[in-house]
Copies of this chain bind each other. A is one copy, B any other.
């Protein structure tokens, strides 16, 4: 039995052949999780399909939280996958060669002051920083504030990568700078990677050296 959001299942027809499929257009993720747990509790094997890596800002937590709350008697296994940080990094060159942080700008479940504190910490401690959920129709000012925070302690010329719809047909990749990043289209499907103080751009790629000491010979 395979359960998933229709948009994702449409991407993997080869895995659906001959299988019972519940493809939901409208069902919310909480409902999909409950349905999966209920069916699995009857002794069936269920694959709940998640976008990206279910273990990074995704479905794994909800599944476990619900299994715990409702004491569903089933065994759960998380199959890791490629999260946005993995696929976006690959498309942008080699931005994540050194310590990095990931921060979601969605303040639906997290107070903005917690998010802002993290942005400041990541900026000040020179983390390469991946920005998840940078913008939506309603959420437009958070990315403006993010840029301001990084500009207080990072050079305006710091490379910034914007990957929209990574690996999809409408994929779009932009290498820009902290200074100019807001001049580019940023959507709900975008992930940003802001370089650290050592990151440079080369041939439309962004590259973070592996260290601050020049100990390795090329």
Contact = CB atoms under 8 A, between A and B. Distances in A.
Interface of A: 30, 53-58, 60-66, 68-70, 78-83, 85-87, 89-91, 93-104, 108-111, 114-115, 117-118, 120-122, 124-127, 202-203, 205, 207-213, 215-218
Given A64-B205, A101-B127, 14 more contacts: A55-B86, A57-B97, A61-B97, A61-B208, A64-B207, A65-B218, A79-B90, A80-B90, A81-B82, A98-B110, A100-B101, A101-B101, A108-B211, A118-B127
B70 A218 contact: yes
Contacts of A56: 85-86, 89, 96
A192 to B, nearest CB: 14
Contacts of A101: 99-102, 122, 127
Integer count of this chain's copies in the complex? 2
16 contacts: A54-B90, A57-B98, A57-B210, A60-B89, A62-B216, A68-B202, A70-B218, A78-B91, A80-B82, A81-B82, A86-B86, A99-B104, A99-B115, A109-B212, A111-B212, A121-B124
Nearest to A103: B99
Contacts of A65: 207, 209, 218
A217 B69 CA distance: 11
B110 A117 contact: no
Contacts of A68: 202-203, 207
